[in-house]
């Protein structure tokens, strides 16, 4: 029997109480599973990740993590907050809003220090992670002197130093050159095979085709239109077209 990591039940959210972002979302993710959340811009993908990472809280409905309801009130407990933050890692779409320390090494040390890891352990984690992603040569570099691809790798590294159980990626390939896109795609696959629970948002059909995750399709009215394995979703041309993910005529011509 699979172990459920988190679930959302009838979750709705609106900005300023007037702009709907999510409507009655039901979704669960099991331990070790890879799930893609897809839909057009504005369908609520990033908002959903923000709720899963407890950066915002539902207006209505329940968000459960390992069977326990999480809310703004529950996060007032330092024990609950620390435990959750140690287990969840979030890589933002734009690394510029995630990176703020003077050097790459400082970036990788920041998270473990905030989670009260001993300095020597934090340093070892940073060194190991830089080696794993091949960025050791950047350790003393200022983050503002990095290329877009290097910033993305540093942003991911800063999350991996905390060795979270769950990894959240918001549009992981956005704005990257093809070589870096390939690197990040391979990395996500490798992390999944290592047993990490992974949830990522994307509107890129080829990423879903490559990684073959379970897929949740958000509609333009901010609901879950359909969930299914990648092959099922990608073969449903009407669904992809109606949800704004493809130009049906172009997709058909390419598929022939």
pLDDT by residue (tens digit) across 99-156?
999 999 999 999 999 888 999 999 999 999 999 999 999 999 999 999 999 999 999 9
Query: Are the C-beta atoms of residues 19 and 219 closer than 8 Å to each other?
Result: no
**What would the mean pLDDT of 5-11 be, rounded to a whole number?**
96
Q: Which long-range contacts (CB under 8 A, 24 or more apart) does 226-234 make?
A: 227/27, 230/36, 233/38, 233/208, 234/205, 234/208, 234/209
Using the predicted structure, report yes or no on whether residue 256 has a pLDDT greater than 70: no
**pTM of the model as a whole:** 0.92
User: Which residues have CB under 8 Å from 231's CB, separation 6+?
Assistant: 212
pLDDT by residue (tens digit) across 56-80?
999 999 999 998 999 888 888 888 8
Q: Which long-range contacts (CB under 8 A, 24 or more apart) does 235-240 make?
A: 240/205
* 198: enclosing H helix or E strand: strand 197-202
Instruction: Give the CA distances from residue 240 to residues 24, 46, 172, in Å, rounded to whole numbers and listed in that order.
Output: 21, 19, 20
Instruction: Give the CA distances from residue 75 to residues 49, 173, 227, in Å, rounded to whole numbers and listed in that order.
Output: 17, 31, 30
Alpha carbon distance 9, 7 (integer Å): 7
Classified as helix, coil or strand, 15 is strand
């Amino acid at each position: 029997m699979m172990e459920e990591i988190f679930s959302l039940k009838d979750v709705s959210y609106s900005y300023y109480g007037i702009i709907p972002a999510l409507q009655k979302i039901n979704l669960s993710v099991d331990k070790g599973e890879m799930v893609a959340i897809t839909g057009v811009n504005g369908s609520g993908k990033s908002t959903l990740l923000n709720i899963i990472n407890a950066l915002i809280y539902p207006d209505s409905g329940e968000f459960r993590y390992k069977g326990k309801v999480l809310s703004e009130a529950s996060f007032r407990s330092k024990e609950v907050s620390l435990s959750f933050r140690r287990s969840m890692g979030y890589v933002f779409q734009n690394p510029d809003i995630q990176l703020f320390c003077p050097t790459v090494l400082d970036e990788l040390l920041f998270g473990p220090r905030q989670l009260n890891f001993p300095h020597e352990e934090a340093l070892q984690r940073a060194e190991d992670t830089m080696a794993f992603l091949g960025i050791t040569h950047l350790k003393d570099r200022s983050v503002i002197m990095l290329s877009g691809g290097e910033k993305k790798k540093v942003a991911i590294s800063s999350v991996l130093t905390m060795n979270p159980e769950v990894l959240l990626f918001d549009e992981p390939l956005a704005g990257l050159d093809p070589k870096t896109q390939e690197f990040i795609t391979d990395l996500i696959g490798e992390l999944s095979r290592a047993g990490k629970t992974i949830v990522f948002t994307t509107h890129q059909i080829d990423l879903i085709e490559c990684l073959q995750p379970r897929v949740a399709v958000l509609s333009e009215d901010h609901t879950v239109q359909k969930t299914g394995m990648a092959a099922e979703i990608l073969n449903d041309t009407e669904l992809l077209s109606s949800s704004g993910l493809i130009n049906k005529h172009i997709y058909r011509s390419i598929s022939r």
